[in-house]
Structure 1
């Protein structure tokens, strides 16, 4: 028998006090329960999300050329601001380069999650010990 046990309970007063609140039941991964993610849709997404350098970039042969090209572009300002502006410019170029070379990381994760879900479903439907 298959039952869905993962639930989120709230009362009417809580709903009225949290109008922009949303929730989503995610696919299970490591447990036999589905995680539930909640968020407030009225809170705007911040614009100052930190830049993350990906270790996978270091294995690509064109990374050095992208960094050198960006860093060697002329920039006229006082020395300390030059460094800050060059780093900011490099960040933008690396984001563009990464999306062109590696594509959307979110899309890759979605494909892998779908594949994992298919494997789990196949194992659940196969009652033989070899399916485990």
Structure 2
């Protein structure tokens, strides 16, 4: 299996532009011959057809530059394999994901701690209460894991209550951007290019606002916080 940005299209239908653009005919021919000689062809796919955009609203260009190529031996080994091309988001290329089974499951998002939480006036109170909760009987490592689980749940709740609005706006604006991009990458139109440009600007605005908010408001880092608790006995032993 060969995966990546090949910077080349195979046929004319893999290029879309509002203004006329010359096709790289020599490169297309050489790329096609290369795949034939190496017995490579596209893995069945879902999602976006075009995988690259130049992000130029005045002269938008879409092309299928990213591919997942396999040979017959790979197909025989993974007969149900499929590739999915997602919306590019803040990039100019669509990410390609390969599943060896046709049944695609979404992974759960991992927990991420943001130092922004430490600016909440009840942060220390809530973390201390979560750490002090009773846990099951077990080894020291087991007890520590249970306490950290309680802390994680409290952090999630605090994030929803204190900082949910801005993050929700970012999430919704990115979902809107990706939704427009998904349609644009399948059936591009002038209006969709304009909508994508506006949606990208909106997402960038909220993302930069949150970045600035984190930079200005974050005061206590996670390592410093735990050092403070451990040296003063605020959390416990």
TM-score, normalised with respect to structure 1: 0.54
Which one of the candidate residues 67, 75, 83 is aligned to 1:23? Answer: 83
2:200 maps to 1:122 = no
**Contact 2:87/2:94 (8 A) holds in 1:** yes
Q: Secondary structure at the match of 1:67?
A: helix
Aligned residues: 121
1:50–1:110: structure 2 CA closer, same or farther, 3 Å change rule? closer
Could you tell me which residue of structure 2 aligns to residue 86 of structure 1?
A: 147
2:131 maps to 1:71 = yes
TM-score, normalised with respect to structure 2: 0.36
Could you tell me which residue of structure 1 aligns to residue 224 of structure 2?
A: none
Cα distance in 2 between the residues matched to 1:52 and 1:44? 21
Structure 1 runs not aligned, ≥5 long:
126-132
| Alpha-carbon shift at residue 70 of structure 1 (Å) | 1.1
1:96–1:12: structure 2 CA closer, same or farther, 3 Å change rule? farther
Aligned CA-pair RMSD: 4.5
| Alpha-carbon shift at residue 61 of structure 1 (Å) | 3.3
Structure 2 runs not aligned, ≥5 long:
1-15, 18-61, 182-191, 198-237
> Larger Rg: 1 or 2?
2
Q: Secondary structure at the match of 1:92?
A: helix
Cα distance in 2 between the residues matched to 1:98 and 1:66? 12
**Contact 2:117/2:155 (8 A) holds in 1:** no
**Bigger shift: 108-117 or 12-21?**
108-117
Normalized per residue, the structure richer in strand is 2
Q: Select the structure with the greater relative contact order (CA < 8 A; seq sep ≥ 6).
A: 2
